[in-house]
Amino acid sequence: MKFACLLADGFEDVEALASSALLRRAGFTVDFYSVYDQNKVTGAYKTVVTDLKAMNQIDVDEYDGLFIPGGKAAFKIRDEQTVKDLAIAFNQKDKWMLAICAAPTVYGLLGMLDGKKYISYPGTEKEMGQAIRVDTKVIRDGRFITARSAGSVYDFVFEIIKAIQGQEALNKFKENIVY
């Protein structure tokens, strides 16, 4: 299972890096892509990521899903036509659509979450179209898995593992990380 993770300056460090590290530990591949074709991006808390590929190099067919972390970057990249086109391409191919914090607004503004349950950072509700907000740390509705904030990273990753690998794999993962 392989995910493309979109990064731009101002991404939320914990949401992107902890989620990716935990997913990798569970056997997933997570590749980092720079939305703006930068050699490095800097997170909201000054973590620098250098192992990046240019977003225009993503081959949707090579991935099982798209992962967008939150942070201030989410508010900027959601207006980029290239990001919108990429999200649409992943969705049209029935891929996993993962987002945390402010990042679910990328999908919400495109109408992808209309009629679906979601959670995002408090205050982003007005940007979610006809999506159905639920008060929880994480929610899955079909191929969409969304989470509230940096404080929900473990819940987010656990839901991804459970949805894709099953409850037994999640239990084993929790045991392995001594959760």
Q: How crowded is residue 58: how many other Cβ atoms within 10 Å of its Cβ?
A: 19
In the chain, what percentage of residues exceed pLDDT 70?
Answer: 100
For residues 61-73, average pLDDT: 98
**Structural domain containing residue 82:** 2-176
- Could you give the number of structural domains in the chain? 1
The confidence score (pLDDT) of residue 32 equals 98
- What CATH code is carried by the domain that includes residue 109? 3.40.50.880
| Across 7-13, average pLDDT | 98
Instruction: Give the integer Cα–Cα distance in Å for 81 and 87.
Output: 10
This prediction has a pTM of 0.97
Residue 65 pLDDT grade (very low, low, confident, very high; cuts 50, 70, 90): very high
CA-nearest of 58, 57, 69 to 11 is 69
Q: What is the pLDDT of residues 74-98, one digit of tens each?
A: 999 999 999 999 999 999 999 999 9
